[in-house]
Amino acid sequence: MHDLDINTVEMVLDVMKFAINRITSVNPEIGVPKRYEELKSLAGETITKEGIGGEEAFRLFKDVFVKATIPIDHPRHLAFVPAAPFRASLMFDLVTAVSSIHGAYWMEGAGGIFCEMEAMKWLVSLTGMPEGAFGVFTSGGT
């Protein structure tokens, strides 16, 4: 987990290229939902005793799984809003993900929790609610 070798460095570069291409895409590819059975036949066994390795997992993600999704930031996606579909939010999601922040406890996530509390205070201030009003962020909380 904490060792670093050339394979890991190459995987980081591949992932970063993917992220850069995705974030800078003006019109991202739109996928098509597939039935479980179809995905299973395309992916095969993904949980094995030996593992499938990072390269194969990333290939499956790019070639199979992401093509069976509809990106929330696609111009034709007009359903619900479970995420912030802006480039700045995508980039910062990447930053927070690689920072491995766990925000359930102050001991581990004080910085992230502070940021969330400040954002919530700002949002509450826009509503005109009384002092002491507060809330929480939830996925899909629109």
CA distance 95 to 87: 12
Residue 115 in any domain: the answer is no
CA distance 33 to 71: 11
Q: Report the pLDDT value the prediction gives residue 142, as an integer from 0 to 100.
A: 52
Residue with token string 């939010």: 89
Residue 37 in any domain: the answer is yes
* Residue 127 structure tokens: 């509503």
CA distance 109 to 98: 14
Q: Report the pLDDT value the prediction gives residue 72, as an integer from 0 to 100.
A: 81
- Tell me the pLDDT tens digit for each residue of 51-97: 999 999 999 999 999 999 988 888 777 777 777 778 888 898 899 88
Mean pLDDT taken over the chain: 89
Residue 50 in any domain: the answer is yes
Q: Are 124 and 133 in contact (CB under 8 A)?
A: yes
- Tell me the pLDDT tens digit for each residue of 9-27: 999 999 999 999 999 988 8
Give the chain's end-to-end CA distance (angstroms, integer).
Answer: 37
Q: Which residues contact 43 (CB under 8 A, 6 or more apart)?
A: 60, 64, 65
CA distance 138 to 106: 18
Residue 72 in any domain: the answer is yes
Residue 49 in any domain: the answer is yes
- Tell me the pLDDT tens digit for each residue of 61-71: 999 999 999 88
Residue 91 in any domain: the answer is no
Domain span at residue 29 reads 6-78
Residue 34 in any domain: the answer is yes
- Number of domain units in the chain: 1
126, burial (CB in 10 Å: exposed 0-12, middle 13-18, buried 19+): exposed
pTM of the predicted structure, to 2 decimals: 0.76
Residue 12 in any domain: the answer is yes
